[in-house]
Structure 1
Amino acid sequence: MTLRWLHLRLAAPLMAFGDVAIDHVGPTRDFPSASALTGLFGNALGWRRADGAAHQALQDRLVFGALIARAGHLLTDTQNAKLEANDRGWTTWGRPDERAGATYDSPHRRRRDYLADHECRVVLRLLDVPDGPSLDALAQALDRPARPLFLGRKPCLPCARLVGGWVEGANARTALAALGLAGRALWPAEDGGGTRRDVADRRNWRTGLHGGSYPVCEGEIA
């Protein structure tokens, strides 16, 4: 059976597809995660961070593959900030983050990785359910988003229209091949071929924590 897939072009001077973060280090992967795509669509639709059920339902419906059309290079941003006793930090949980302890001599450090001059193509469809946005509604939201869109982190603004059109294919792997581009790609494991591995790309949108891994295959699209 031939299926219809939404084609996305993810290109920007800087982008970040967040990987598993440990301590102050925020790495990036080469391919977008299911949680990153869910967040992108949620932002375009005007959903709030508190709309966990809507985000979760959308993530559970996503079926996608991704291909690196242009491999960028890794750029690491090291941030150091000296926080005084009365300084507060913005948070996403509704109250400011305050320092504890009596010493303020050591700076607050964190490291964030970005992909510079990277371009990734995505083919995507949704599992059919009675409720929730349609694939056409998602495409329209990306063209007329409720809020400014970014690829991974807020400084990462796309440099071109995100919607690249539509392609057809029996599965994500054949839909990627229909783009007519060559490169390293990732697709669901049930499509077969390539090298199978698990990726930790799911988010539990109700708790805001890691939501599990998903089996994928990685290989070359000729």
Structure 2
Amino acid sequence: MKTLTLKLKAPLQAYGNEATFGRRTSNPYPTKSAVIGMIAAALGYDRRNSKIIDLNKLSFATRVDQPGKIMSDFQIVEYAKNANKKDKKLTYRDYLQDAIFMVAIGSENSDLINEIHYALRHPKFPLFLGRRSCPPAGPLEIEVFDNQNPLMVLQTMGWQAAEWYQKKHSNFKAEIVYDASLGSNDNFKFQLRDEVGSFDQRNRYHNYREVVSTYIPMKNETKWHAETMHDIMANI
């Protein structure tokens, strides 16, 4: 199996797990449907392209290297109930601040992974980390691995959190959520509703898939520097 990893980082990210008119919350880590949507955008697929459903076959795993803090945005929405009257409603949107995630997708079809790799480097449509208001913080950091599945790659890849975060968390355990078919099912297994059914705005829906969650300790490789003894008043 050939595996491609993406480092997802931005000031704000949002991965919907509940969508109502009044409130839209965020999953604490990237959903498979969000990543497939980003790949489909890079490949130039429109929302009703049947090829999007085929992307569900990609093996998928995500690792939380730097959990984000929830930020709620309050928006006033004005809409017309009838021709003569307008109403205003307070709505809520949740975002993840300063989060860093490692995402891995895999396939036995090496050509498909190569195609996705090229497309993410040269996207046909703009890429977003969940919502349109959440662009990536610069070009995506992408790596490709041969003969490893997404779970294997994320279990061995070094910790990707920011240096300041690593200094504050010396004994960090990262959560990995992966397709149940990828590895041991001895860990916590549950159903996640993030498999793409349709992105068509007239009939958007998602299906359930079986996933496994586990935690692995991360090695802190931050280089610690001794404090510099410096007297700013010495030359006065």
Q: Same fold (TM over 0.5)?
A: yes
Shift of 1:152: 0.8
User: Which one of 59, 68, 72 corresponds to residue 68 of structure 2?
Assistant: 72
User: Which one of 200, 208, 212 corresponds to residue 213 of structure 1?
Assistant: 208
The C-alpha deviation readout for 1:113-140, integer Å capped at 9, x for no partner, is 11110110011113549xxx71111111
The higher radius of gyration belongs to 2
Mark the CA change 1:200 to 1:115 in structure 2 (over 3 Å): closer, same or farther.
same
Task: Please tell me whether the aligned partners of residues 2 and 149 of structure 2 are also in contact (alpha carbons under 8 angstroms).
Answer: no
Partner of 2:133: 155
Partner of 2:178: 187
Structure 2 runs not aligned, ≥5 long: 160-172, 218-236
Shift of 1:154: 1.1
Partner of 1:93: none
* Dislocated runs of 4+, deviation >4 Å: none
For 2:193, the aligned partner's letter is A
The alignment status of 1:197 with 2:175, answered yes or no, reads: no
- Please give the alpha-carbon distance, in whole angstroms, between the structure 2 residues aligned to 1:68 and 1:139: 22
For 1:30, the aligned partner's letter is P
Partner of 1:17: 15
Partner of 2:25: 27
Shift of 1:24: 2.1
> Identity rate of aligned residues, in percent?
25
Higher relative contact order (CA 8 A, sep 6+): 1
User: Which one of 164, 179, 187 corresponds to residue 142 of structure 2?
Assistant: 164
For 1:109, the aligned partner's letter is L
Instruction: Give the TM-score, by structure 2 length.
Output: 0.76
- Please give the alpha-carbon distance, in whole angstroms, between the structure 2 residues aligned to 1:31 and 1:126: 22
User: Which one of 90, 107, 114 corresponds to residue 109 of structure 1?
Assistant: 90
- Please give the alpha-carbon distance, in whole angstroms, between the structure 2 residues aligned to 1:39 and 1:100: 35
Partner of 2:164: none
- Please give the alpha-carbon distance, in whole angstroms, between the structure 2 residues aligned to 1:126 and 1:18: 25
The C-alpha deviation readout for 1:147-172, integer Å capped at 9, x for no partner, is 22111111111013324212356543
Partner of 1:6: 4
Task: Please tell me whether the aligned partners of residues 179 and 211 of structure 2 are also in contact (alpha carbons under 8 angstroms).
Answer: yes
- Please give the alpha-carbon distance, in whole angstroms, between the structure 2 residues aligned to 1:42 and 1:206: 10
- Please give the alpha-carbon distance, in whole angstroms, between the structure 2 residues aligned to 1:8 and 1:144: 15
Shift of 1:71: 1.1
The alignment status of 1:140 with 2:122, answered yes or no, reads: no
Task: Please tell me whether the aligned partners of residues 29 and 101 of structure 2 are also in contact (alpha carbons under 8 angstroms).
Answer: yes
Shift of 1:209: 3.0
- Please give the alpha-carbon distance, in whole angstroms, between the structure 1 residues aligned to 2:69 and 2:129: 16
Task: Please tell me whether the aligned partners of residues 4 and 145 of structure 2 are also in contact (alpha carbons under 8 angstroms).
Answer: yes
